[in-house]
Amino acid sequence: MPILFYYLGLKFYFFSNDHEPIHVHVSAGDAEAKFRVVPNIELIENCGLKLREIRQALMAIEENKEVIAERWNEYFGK
């Protein structure tokens, strides 16, 4: 499970067997969510993240969108 970065207690990562579209998983403790990154950032699934954490995750994804997509493409050989 490649970890991309940590931000305000949130962990951003993807799974080694993930699939397109490019997306990122975010967790805080036992809570987690999944966000599409490309073409538009969108919350796909939320399993317990608080609204504040979702907002923080969206902000971090927006600020790091290019890095996330680049790391995805490097890892999955795209």
Cβ of 43: how many Cβ atoms within 10 Å? 15
What is the distance between the alpha carbons of residues 67 and 64, in angstroms, rounded to a whole number? 5
Name residue 73's amino acid.
N
Tell me: the pLDDT tens digits for 1-20?
899 999 999 999 999 998 89
Ranges of the chain with pLDDT below 50: none
Angle (CA) 56-51-23 rounded to 5° is: 55
CA 67, 68, 74, 78 dihedral sign is: negative
Angle (CA) 68-70-76 rounded to 5° is: 100
Threshold 0.85, pTM exceeds: yes
